[in-house]
Amino acid sequence: MNGRDHTRRWVLRTGGTLIAGGMTIGVGSADEHLIRERAELTDEAHGLDTGASGHATFLVNVEEGIVDYEVHIDRICDPTQAHVHLGGPDEDGPVVGWLYPEDGQEPRHIEGFFSGTLAEGTTTPDDFVGPLEGLSFEEAVEVLEEEGAYVNVHTVEHPAGEIRGQIEPVDPNEVEET
């Protein structure tokens, strides 16, 4: 299997390419080197009941080794950070990519309740941190394939994370909400 086929298989299976540069994945019929992934963010994974929710979407360009992402949140109070982590649904893993704030790794507090787009941007291998730092796009995909990935949004009251969701492939037959 060549590297491109391996990468596409991994992205479709795990959605981990998000960390390698974006989030939600699903093969688009118009351009087969673009993959969409999505993470539904809820408070269930942390055992919280805050009423906050959200989603993160990723458009992975396998050919160029970049990921475009957007993180949208609803009814969350005092957000400070959002990251991509390695790990499965019941695991807490290390940060491998920063989503918010987009320009640094220091928390940036948004006071009060917030609904809307928290972060959007493009990630490349140069942006990888933790276990993915220094890896190529293809190497990062291999790690993500084995370990899985999730998005975690942190707040002042819940610094370990208030909402979280596993990154998963988007069914190419589903209509993407904006």
Q: Residue ranges of the alpha helices (H) in the chain?
A: 3-14, 137-147
**For helices 3-14 and 137-147, what crossing angle results, to 10°?**
40
Domains of the chain listed by start with CATH number: 3-169 (2.60.40)
Residue 154 β-bridge partners: 81
- Burial class from Cβ neighbours inside 10 Å (0-12, 13-18, 19+) for residue 7 reads buried
Structure tokens at 92: 């807490």
pLDDT tier for residue 86 given thresholds of 50, 70 and 90: very high
pLDDT digits (tens, 9 = 90+) for 40-61: 999 877 788 899 999 999 998 9
pTM: 0.80
pLDDT digits (tens, 9 = 90+) for 95-104: 999 999 987 7
Whole-angstrom distance, CA of residue 142 vs CA of residue 135: 10
